[in-house]
A and B are shown apart, each in its own frame.
Chain A
């Protein structure tokens, strides 16, 4: 008798929770999948962040993309792991634009090379002091990076939420049309 009631109770509760779609078991399995993917591939947050930045740089050379909505994730089925990249495209760039960007990049590289060369000369000229300052700047760079990655992740989270809201809205619109 007791079992019948517990069963009924679970079914009723289960029915209402399934309606919601954000039941904790769905959240749990999604979180776990993501974490396991990172564990299995040995890719940490920092590396993923770096990869994301590089990918954005290369892709936006040719296509104007919504950088904030770019979604980079590891997904897996069974033993295979795939890197899923979802990029909302705003528009393709024209040939002239691509050339202009490439030119700008080349110039940037050239400038960097020139700067490096200058710095090397300076370093050779002066004593140990410059090395120390270099170390300091490196340290501060590292801490800067760490903060950046944390912030951008938070941003990414809020973006996800926004996206979800948007999709919800479009779904609602569809319903209205019907």
Chain B
């Protein structure tokens, strides 16, 4: 078995790389694939928090590289899904603790046993970014419909194009707010795709559920009623080669959304 190594990157911080990694990883594992998530944000690790695994980490990526433990010992199994593992970043070191070569070796070793290796990349374009993309052959570029995020995504796409090993890269537009787009106050998905001229793999609507799911340490794909959760599930399906139409984010879903819509109609009247 040769697993696919996909790096999730963005350039700009705070656009949702880690949330995206956690959710796509969980969705892929739920569909039966064997998945490893690697947090390469050494010194600023957070993927463990989003998965609710912060109390279970014994060894980290740096421990594996410095041979204090075997690779398998450092893989932390998810609470719910045995198909999902996390290789956490060390919190007490910095990005220079792992080199591109070392991460590449780890990815190659994991490819033998797992279907997907998702690498959560740190923000920026320096050492940490270069290390994170070293083992990958595919990339997902996360951006939001904001000027600074799109500009940084463009820079990242340029760097990915220059890298021979990256065979394909796709765009994921996060935190889309249909109301603002309708009012012409936010760039639409088409605008962003036009500017970046890059293939799309997902559109994730802004969802307050992300905040509560992060609070609980449970990825939002586990919530059947969430719009963002559904959108992430669709991304996972597209990664596995299925053709899924993009979600119609205008329609309110769930009970609370319907109440909100009801109030909005009343307010207008």
Contacts of A24 in B (CB 8 A): 211-213, 215-216
Q: Does A107 contact B (CB under 8 A)?
A: no
Q: Does A177 contact B (CB under 8 A)?
A: no
Check A153–B55 contact: CB distance below 8 A. Answer: yes
Q: Does B183 contact A (CB under 8 A)?
A: no
Contacts of A39 in B (CB 8 A): 91
Q: Is the interface of A mostly helix, strand, loop or mixed?
A: helix
Q: CA separation between A150 and B58, bound complex, in Å?
A: 8
Cβ of A11 to closest chain B Cβ, rounded Å: 13
Decide yes or no: A153 and B216 within 8 Å by CB, A9-B263, A143-B70, A143-B73 being known contacts.
no
Q: Does A15 contact B (CB under 8 A)?
A: no
Check A146–B49 contact: CB distance below 8 A. Answer: no
Q: CA separation between A44 and B69, bound complex, in Å?
A: 15
Contacts of B217 in A (CB 8 A): 27, 31
Cβ of A125 to closest chain B Cβ, rounded Å: 31
Q: CA separation between A42 and B90, bound complex, in Å?
A: 11
Q: CA separation between A136 and B88, bound complex, in Å?
A: 26
Q: Does A28 contact B (CB under 8 A)?
A: yes
Q: CA separation between A124 and B183, bound complex, in Å?
A: 83
* CB closest chain-A residue, reference B256: A13
Q: Does A20 contact B (CB under 8 A)?
A: no
Cβ of A53 to closest chain B Cβ, rounded Å: 15
Q: Is the interface of B mostly helix, strand, loop or mixed?
A: helix
Check B266–A5 contact: CB distance below 8 A. Answer: yes
Q: Does B57 contact A (CB under 8 A)?
A: yes
Question: Interface extent on A, as a size class?
Answer: 20 to 34
A9, A143, A150, A157: residue with the most chain B Cβ atoms closer than 10 Å: A150
Q: CA separation between A6 and B57, bound complex, in Å?
A: 41
Q: Does A25 contact B (CB under 8 A)?
A: yes
Decide yes or no: A27 and B92 within 8 Å by CB, A9-B259, A9-B260, A146-B73 being known contacts.
no
Contacts of B57 in A (CB 8 A): 44-45
Q: CA separation between A117 and B213, bound complex, in Å?
A: 56
Check B263–A5 contact: CB distance below 8 A. Answer: yes
Question: When each residue 58-92 of chain A gets 1 if its CB lies under 8 Å from chain B and 0 otherwise, what string results?
Answer: 00000000000000000000000000000000000
Q: Does A175 contact B (CB under 8 A)?
A: no
Q: Does B59 contact A (CB under 8 A)?
A: yes
Cβ of B145 to closest chain A Cβ, rounded Å: 23
Contacts of B59 in A (CB 8 A): 146
Cβ of B237 to closest chain A Cβ, rounded Å: 28
Check A44–B58 contact: CB distance below 8 A. Answer: yes
Q: Does B267 contact A (CB under 8 A)?
A: yes
Contacts of B56 in A (CB 8 A): 45, 150, 153
Question: When each residue 1-22 of chain A gets 1 if its CB lies under 8 Å from chain B and 0 otherwise, what string results?
Answer: 1101110010000000000000
Question: When each residue 27-53 of chain A gets 1 if its CB lies under 8 Å from chain B and 0 otherwise, what string results?
Answer: 110011011000100101110000000
Q: CA separation between A173 and B54, bound complex, in Å?
A: 35
Q: Does A99 contact B (CB under 8 A)?
A: no
Q: Does B137 contact A (CB under 8 A)?
A: no
If A24-B216, A25-B215, A153-B56 are given as contacts, then 9 extra A-B residue pairs at C-beta distance below 8 Å, sorted by A number, are A2-B263, A5-B267, A6-B263, A27-B215, A28-B215, A42-B92, A146-B69, A146-B73, A150-B58
Q: Considering the complex of A and B, which 6 residue pairs feature the smallest CB-CB distances, nearest first?
A: A28-B215, A24-B215, A2-B267, A24-B212, A5-B263, A1-B267
- 8 A-B pairs within 8 Å (CB atoms) are namely A27-B216, A27-B217, A32-B49, A35-B54, A42-B92, A142-B73, A146-B73, A150-B56
